[in-house]
Amino acid sequence: MEDDAFTRRDFLLGTASAAAAAGLAACGKEDAVGTNTTQPKPVATVGPGIDPSQAPFDTVVVLMMENRGFDHLLGWLPGANGQQTGLSFKDKTGAEHPTWPLAPDWQGCTMQDPFHLWEAVATQWNKGAMDGFLLTQPENDLFPIGYYTDKDLPILAALAQNYTCFDNYFCSMLGPTWPNRFYQWAATTDLNYTGFFPTADQPRPSKLETTIFDRVRAAGLTGAYYSFGEPMTGLFASKKYDDMSFPFAQFETDATAGKLANVVFVDPDYTAASEFNGTSNDMHAYGSVQVGDAFIGQVHDILAASPQWGRMVFVLNYDEHGGFFDTVTPPRCQDDTVIPGGGPQPDLTSLGVRVPCIAMGPFAPQKIDASGPYEHCSVLKMIEWRWGLAPMTKRDATANNLANALDFTLKRAPMKLPTYTVDPATVCVNPNHLP
């Protein structure tokens, strides 16, 4: 099933996505908690308040999930700037449709994976009106305006209510996975689309030469990247990051042994074989959101059991919204990116659609952080601030520091996550899947 303007054929030809922006920060202080019974409340901004060389963390771990918006997953969160019920969106015919609960459908196999190429996202964004989420969808397909609640995803709900949850965090550009993930590593992108992972005899698509790993290595620090396959490092033509790429199984081994690098990125399984069968754990449609929820809990518990937890900042975020609805207009940002190729391009002076982000670890207060805006480059800014690293582009130079939301007087123990039975994913081979 294809929509009039954004077809599967267009995607395969490479008409894809990108856009970008900047970020801010905030913080506060509360006592440690071990359950998810207390609702977080907004607190005042105070900032890091210390010399970065004295910051009591030397490990940063980033788990970046896939393709879900803030309101879509966390619009229920008490005290947050979110909304799920009482909204409606117009389709191409002008008919209005209310937002609706997706559970117990965890995969959406019968619907169109919401379009999220940059051209489609521009329509959804609609110059900041945030009302076009059905305008890129086939008729009578309401997948983009469905939502999940705390009862559906207990792990995400517990983390959001017990650590620092940001309700003013945006992906870096109005577009899809690859460019947003490049922004998370390099504070820029040289591609405006997402494609298929190159085979051994195909050229690697990105010519970017500088990422946070270059800054880290030059400072005598260590970096590591863990994935299930089709690693992001395999997209860089230089191949210079291949030696710091490891299978996910090695992540647990290193965390348990207290041997995680200073800067660590962990990816879920978004390999083509898993995503196109609906068996991925990344939350990308048509993978089960419950399976993804359980994977987030697995990573949390691996880190919670690590001897490095006491000096760690753990960030959970999502690469982009995946075409799912959100109600907050992305703010403007400063960006000097020029994507090669000419022709129409995404607006990189706007941040992308709002996505979930939770900071965890001993210095993450139990709160909703309403300051900002933050974005993927705010994570880079925190890393650069901590170790005195030079920014890579105007984007990370002007982003807000995610460390502003932390409280370094805290020494929180990790929380105990709830347990629940996860419905197994079914094989869901849908020709309407998009990377």
CA dist 238 and 227 (Å) reads 19
Q: What are phi and psi of 360, to 5 degrees?
A: -130, 170
Residue span of the structural domain in which 102 resides: 8-405
Question: How does pLDDT run across 133-166, given as a tens digit for each residue?
Answer: 999 999 899 999 999 999 999 999 999 999 999 9
Question: How does pLDDT run across 254-266, given as a tens digit for each residue?
Answer: 999 999 999 999 9
Number of folded domains that form the chain:
1
Task: Give the pLDDT band of residue 48 (cuts 50, 70, 90).
Answer: confident
Question: How does pLDDT run across 77-123, given as a tens digit for each residue?
Answer: 999 999 999 999 999 999 999 999 999 999 999 999 999 999 999 99
* CA-atom Rg of the chain in angstroms: 20
pLDDT at 27: 29
Residues 6+ apart with CB under 8 A from 240: none
Residue 105 within any structural domain of the chain: yes
Q: What are phi and psi of 60, to 5 degrees?
A: -120, 125
Residue 169 and residue 427 in contact, taking contact as beta carbons nearer than 8 Å: no
Lowest mean pLDDT among 28-37, 73-82, 123-132: 28-37
pLDDT at 10: 32
Tokens linked to 27: 């913080």
Residue 424 within any structural domain of the chain: no
CA dist 137 and 1 (Å) reads 9
pLDDT at 47: 52
CATH code for the domain in which residue 21 is found: 3.40.720.10
Residue 421 within any structural domain of the chain: no
Residue 379 within any structural domain of the chain: yes
**Which amino acid is it at 145?**
I
Residue 415 within any structural domain of the chain: no
Q: pLDDT higher for 150 or 430?
A: 150
Residue 432 within any structural domain of the chain: no
Question: How does pLDDT run across 382-393, given as a tens digit for each residue?
Answer: 999 999 999 999
pLDDT higher than threshold 50 for residue 275: yes
Question: How does pLDDT run across 202-222, given as a tens digit for each residue?
Answer: 999 999 999 999 999 999 999
pLDDT at 29: 30
Residue 166 within any structural domain of the chain: yes
Lowest mean pLDDT among 35-44, 170-179, 343-352: 35-44
Average pLDDT in the 283-296 region?
Answer: 96
Task: Give the pLDDT band of residue 32 (cuts 50, 70, 90).
Answer: very low
Maximum average pLDDT range among 15-24, 48-57, 321-330: 321-330
Averaged pLDDT of the chain = 89
Task: Give the pLDDT band of residue 24 (cuts 50, 70, 90).
Answer: very low
pLDDT higher than threshold 90 for residue 360: yes
Residues linked to residue 96 through DSSP beta bridges, in sequence order: 90
Nearest Cα to Cα of residue 14 among 272, 137, 279, 192 = 192
pLDDT at 435: 60
Residue 226 and residue 264 in contact, taking contact as beta carbons nearer than 8 Å: yes
Residue length of the chain? 435
pLDDT higher than threshold 80 for residue 178: yes
pLDDT higher than threshold 50 for residue 23: no
Residue 423 within any structural domain of the chain: no
